[in-house]
Amino acid sequence: PMGLIDAFRAAFAPDVHARLVIKCVNGDFNPRGLALLRERASGYPIDVIDGYQPAQEMDDLVAACDAFVSLHRSGGLGVTMAEAMAAGKPVVATGWSGNTEFMNVANSFPIRYQLVELEQAIGPYQAGSVWAEPSVEHAAEMLKLLFDDRELGVQRGDLARRTLYEDFSAEHVGKLIGTRLQVIADRREAQRSMIEALTHPATEPPVPRAPEVPTMDLQSSIYGWPGRIAKRGVAFFLSYHTLFQRQINQQFASFMRELESVQNRHGERLDEHDRRLDGVTNELQQMRDDFAGALRAETVTRGERAYLPLFGDCESIIVLGVDGCELMQILLDSGASAVCVESDARLVARARARGIPIVNADALAFLASADERVDAIFSTLPLGMLGRTELADFLMNAQNRLRRGGCLVAETEEPDPDILVNLCFQAGFASARIAHSTVRRYALIAAMAPNDLPNHK
């Protein structure tokens, strides 16, 4: 709450018709902290209310406010923020903790922060824990923005209420749970099929036994002793031996032909096992892709869907990077004309298999070489990996590809706001700002013509 008071004091003079009401509890456990809080608030229209109130009174307090603010360091589930959003109130809150599940740049005002490691224990938070330190300066800017532009607050509040009732209702969450359970069930079924295919004993054809070769009988004859004498004579002269050898050769030749047939059948079975194994491998890969796609789609629902209002009236859009394909699919379904640009041929092939319009090219080179102008550009490229010159070229080329009133949304991690925003203005954009979309994810939002985006320098 100290940071909130500092933000309010930075945003408003004491005589401005704005009032801050701070609701807290358990002040009797920390009377010194409560006294310091009230001392910091003195001289400004700031009320500090300590104690527990009935639920109806809390609902009335939220209903009476113009905006709900939470500069928390660790907000838990963020229930109070969700309740305020469900009531249609614009929420200004630290872009960290559980509230990022339902808060985004389109339906609320996430505040920038820095992660800080605690050097000593503070209340239930042990030394070595990490929490967020919200930016007082950014919070002051958002409070002033809401005070100056009441209509913007009403619009964000309406989007907030819609988000809570459409994306976080029992029916919607039930569908998400059902989808996730189906993905898990399909994965387990694929695993069972794979195990059965690899461990089920195959029915092997019987291996023929070697033929039983008759012995050469020289001791008996149907003709009696003359026959025996004759047989021995024939054997002596090898005639009977030749006949016997011919029989053996014939039987062994037949046996070898049968062995060859069995070998061919075994080869066919091995080929069949290879095909089945390839099928299981492909099925597992498809399952991994589907599972990743389900997770990605859920991420879009929580994160990139926040950008949809920025693209609401856009008819033509360029998406840089295959990570933006899920958002692009939503735009295509809404009737927009969109194309994705990706340099990884393997990812391009997968996207084409899904029917997504995609170009296999370097994104930066594509922006620099194409002539047609579009309404919007959405980028998932790692801007942090670009040098300052490359970044300036990227912004200049993006500006050249946008029509008047067009919008650039470029996701990035840990941006330098001063550098990015200044480069945007140097490139010719009319407005630019850094927005916090999801946990540890930011977005550079730049427009070609004045709109409701504040300039942050």
Question: At 305, which amino acid appears?
Answer: R
**Are 409 and 434 spatial neighbours (Cβ–Cβ below 8 Å)?**
no
Q: Which two tokens stand for residue 106?
A: 């389109």
Q: Is 9 helix (H, G, I), strand (E, B) or coil?
A: helix
Position with higher pLDDT, 167 vs 143? 143
Q: Which two tokens stand for residue 160?
A: 């907030």
- pLDDT at site 455: 39
- pLDDT at site 261: 84
Q: For the segment 389-441, what is each residue's pLDDT rounded down to a tens digit?
A: 888 889 999 998 898 888 899 888 766 777 888 888 888 888 888 876 554 46
- pLDDT at site 412: 81
Alpha-carbon distance 184 to 30, whole Å? 48
Query: In this structure, which CATH number among 3.30.43.10, 3.40.50.150, 1.10.10.10, 1.20.120.530 belongs to the domain 303-447?
Result: 3.40.50.150
Alpha-carbon distance 320 to 371, whole Å? 16
In this prediction, residues 235-261 reach a mean pLDDT of 77
Beta partners for residue 444, in sequence order:
410, 434
Residue 412 C-beta-side C-alpha neighbours within 13 Å: 19
Q: What separation, in Å, do the N-terminal and C-terminal C-alpha atoms of the chain show?
A: 26
Query: In this structure, which CATH number among 3.40.640.10, 3.90.550.10, 3.30.479.30, 3.40.50.2000 belongs to the domain 2-168?
Result: 3.40.50.2000
Beta carbons within 10 angstroms of residue 370's beta carbon: 17
Beta partners for residue 378, in sequence order:
319, 409
Beta carbons within 10 angstroms of residue 86's beta carbon: 17
Question: What are residue 114's phi and psi, to 5 degrees?
Answer: -125, 140
Alpha-carbon distance 229 to 221, whole Å? 9
Q: For the segment 343-396, what is each residue's pLDDT rounded down to a tens digit?
A: 888 888 888 887 888 889 888 888 888 778 888 999 888 877 788 888 888 999
In this prediction, residues 271-282 reach a mean pLDDT of 76
Q: Is the pTM of this model over 0.85?
A: no
